[in-house]
Structure 1
Amino acid sequence: MEVFADYLARIDNQEHRERTEEVLAWVAKKYPNLKPVIKWNQPMFTDHGTFIIGFSVSKNRMTVSPELQGIVHFSDEIVQAGYRHTKYLVIFPWEKPFDFSLLQKMIEFNIWDKSNCSTFWRK
């Protein structure tokens, strides 16, 4: 988790910083085969050099990016869980509990779907 230390230190709101750290630590512990990295000033996890999941924070929310295919695949579940999404991001408002089961599904889908992917992003 040292790779994320500077990123986390820049989150001014302590509750948001703690939630972000909790989510990143959960991913690192649950998926020790994924590599934690910072790219484009955002924490991400990769597998064999390909993007699996990325995170960002703002004043009102944490966003999670499973790439477009992850959004399309889980669009109904995202909405049923009470979250919104854009074309590339799932929006997790700070005031709602974080849905780790939804995150797990998105990560496992990407690990499976990108198992033979040789590029960072899907083509």
Structure 2
Amino acid sequence: MIAEFEEYIAKIDDPAHQDRLRTVLNWVQDTFPQLEQRFAWNQPMFTDHGTFIIGFSVAKAHMAFAPEGPVMAQFADQIAAANYNPGKKFGRIKWTQDVDYDLLKQIIAFNIADKADVTTFWRK
């Protein structure tokens, strides 16, 4: 894990929340080793050939995952079924909820495939 990820995690007050985010970030890197770790916009994120795939952030009540708006729309039903609180461009996983790794895997794999030919950081 890159140093900026660890620095971000160290600023989280609750050690259980630190462990949870570290687990998720390590899982992403282990599951998708081709992704590059990047720290930008004050959040840990993963990119593929220079294009954004997914980012993570934390708040008092939740951890958020941000795969971009079109992906949130594509997976709206599954995100709702997981009882994650969706925003337009990100979803919130309460600290009290389980992380649905299968859903995250589907979201990340979709974004990698969907952005295979994208040459910009964000979708146009």
TM-score of the superposed pair, with normalisation by structure 1: 0.98
Match of 2:81 in 1: 80
Q: AA paired with 2:80?
A: V
Stretches of 4+ moved more than 6 A in 1? none
SS in 2 for 1:43: strand
Q: Secondary structure at the match of 1:71?
A: helix
Residues 51 and 122 in structure 2, CA contact (< 8 A), matched pair in contact too: yes
Deviations 1:15-74 (A, max 9, x none): 100000000000011111000110011000000000000000011000000100110100
The equivalent residue for 1:99 is 100
Partner of 1:2: 2
Q: Offset of 1:2 from its aligned partner?
A: 2.6
Distance 1:79 1:5 in 2: 30
User: Counterparts of 2:31 and 2:84 in 1: how far apart (Å)?
Assistant: 23
Match of 1:119 in 2: 120
- 1:2 alignment partner AA: I
Tell me the residue number matched to 1:55.
Answer: 56
Give aligned-pair identity as a percent. 46
- The alpha carbon displacement at 1:80 in A equals 1.2
- Stretches of structure 1 that go unaligned for 5 or more consecutive residues are none
Structure 2 counterpart SS, 1:109: helix
Matched residue count:
123
Is 2:28 aligned against 1:36? no
TM-score (norm 2): 0.97
Code of the residue aligned with 1:22 in structure 2: it is T
- CA RMSD in angstroms comes to 0.7
Matched letter for residue 70 of structure 2: Q
Taking the aligned partners of 1:2 and 1:65, their CA distance within structure 2 comes to 19
